[in-house]
Amino acid sequence: MTEKDLEKEQAAGRPQEEPETAAPEDAAETVPETDEASAQEQPEEISPEEGVARFIQGYEEKIAGLTDSLKRQMAEFDNYRKRTEREKAAMLEVGARTVLEKMLPIVDSFERGLGGLSEEQKAEPFAAGMQQVYRQLIKALDELDVKPIEAKGQTFDPNLHNAVMHVEDEEAGENTVVEEFRKGYTYRGSVLRYSMVKVAN
């Protein structure tokens, strides 16, 4: 068969044998290997619901911590406020007692002066004016809760009375106050000035 005959056969549609191509070795068997280390580094897969729950839990813990801190600070501030109020009240108490103690000798002077007047002298305008001032002073002290201590005829009480003299008196009961040299006073239930008294044995 000549070359021309071959060309005619090819033109007539005779299939030509295609050269076989070699498949790459182990192409079908190539499987990506999983690295254990890289698998551990991968983030944990969680559902959206679980993610939201963890998010809320984290903020709830933060809120609880801030709330606890706020409560402690409020408690400390409340203790500070109460302590400041007590200190302020104590300072006012000390100041009031100091002023009242200085007023008591004035009361003593009024009582000695008015006690030495006769009935005729007490009727004079000047003496009447002094008695009015004295009554106003006693009223003001009473409104401030300054009360006189009962002494004469009472049983001696070392918490209220200061015994400066003892006397033998059969008519008076034992340990009884028979005379008061200086009147004592209490302020809000505590002794402002002790009564200076004479006590019968």
**131-190 residue pLDDT tens:** 999 999 999 999 999 999 999 999 999 999 999 999 988 788 888 999 999 999 999 989
Residue 124 to residues 120, 127, 131: CA-CA distances in angstroms? 7, 5, 11
Nearest Cα to Cα of residue 185 among 130, 153, 145, 158:
145
State the architecture of 148-201 in CATH terms. Roll (2.30)
Residues in the chain with pLDDT values less than 70? 1-44
The confidence score (pLDDT) of residue 91 equals: 92
Instruction: Say which residue the tokens 């103690």 belong to.
Output: 101
What is the C-alpha to C-alpha distance for residues 134 and 37, in angstroms, rounded to an integer?
102
The confidence score (pLDDT) of residue 3 equals: 57
What is the C-alpha to C-alpha distance for residues 26 and 166, in angstroms, rounded to an integer?
130
The confidence score (pLDDT) of residue 100 equals: 94
What is the C-alpha to C-alpha distance for residues 118 and 124, in angstroms, rounded to an integer?
10
Tell me the two tokens of residue 54: 């963890």
Handedness of CA 46, 51, 53, 55 (dihedral sign): positive
